Amino acid sequence: IPGVLLRGGVCHTGLFLLPVSMSLEVSVGKATTIYAVNGTEILLPCTFSTCFGFQDLHFWWWYNSTDTFRTLIEGTVKNEKSDPKVKSKDDDRITLEGSTKEKMNNISILLRNLEFSDTGKYTCYVKNPKENNIHHQATITLQVVDKLEEVDNTVTLIILGVVGGVIGLLICILLIKKFVAFIIKKTQEKKKECLVSSSGNDNTENGLPGSKAEEKAPTKV
């Protein structure tokens, strides 16, 4: 029986019917941990995708550390043409930055005036009633620090410089090789023209190129 196969967030027709629960996907990006300076703000990313569309989709952001667990924000998305709406939130420092425009399905939140106590795990949880309340979630860890450590890029710059130099050298060699080949080709063509011209211009008495003067026998006295 033909079914639907999800691969890389895209639905494909397959020969087997996979569980519908695999259709809803939630992502908080590739980074598992993000860092932010105390007193600043941070965007906690979250997007969702589904092969079957959604209706009155529900979402939550949860926070938990070693000693606390609470719901930061709760909201809904009516359909693909509607932006996410906030139903309730636990912290006035939080703003929903999501949008469904251009099929982004973005339900990210902005957390302002960060405190050290904000360090912990943030889970984006989504439930889709259109798929029999199928749900999915993704978690990202936030570390609030005094200052961001400067990354020493010296080694990286040296490597890039060496690689760039090697590439530049190879390009120069190729250009020189092409230039030399061009000069040799032109020189050979010029020699060939000279040889052709010489073979068609014999020494003659009548001065007509390409012809020879008739040899006359010496006159007897």
Report the b/e string of 182-192 with b at 16+ CB within 10 A: eeeeeeeeeee
How large a percentage of the chain has pLDDT more than 70?
Answer: 72
Hey, what CATH class is 25-145 in? mainly beta
Pairing of strands 85-89, 57-64: unpaired
- In the beta sheet, which residues pair with residue 6? 11
Type of residue at 37: V
Reported as a single tens digit per residue, the pLDDT across 95-132 is: 999 887 777 899 999 999 999 999 999 999 999 999 89
Which residue, 89, 125, 92, is CA-closest to 107? 125
Whether the pTM exceeds 0.75: the reply is: no
* Residue 120 CA from chain centroid, whole number: 29
Token couple for 32: 């598992």
Q: Which residue has the higher pLDDT, 96 or 154?
A: 96
Predicted pLDDT of residue 1: 37
Spans of all domains in the chain: 25-145
Q: What pLDDT does residue 40 have?
A: 95
**Per-residue pLDDT tens for 11-23?**
544 434 444 445 8
Does position 177 have pLDDT exceeding 50, yes or no?
yes
pLDDT band at 195 (very low <50, low <70, confident <90, very high): low
Average pLDDT over residues 203-216: 47
Out of 89-103, 124-138, 149-163, least confident range: 149-163
Rounded-to-integer distance, Cα 79 and Cα 150, Å:
43
Polymer length of the chain: 221
**Pairing relation of β-strands 10-14 and 3-7?**
antiparallel
Q: Taking residues 121-144, report their average pLDDT.
A: 94
Q: How confident is the model at residue 2 (pLDDT cuts 50, 70, 90)?
A: very low
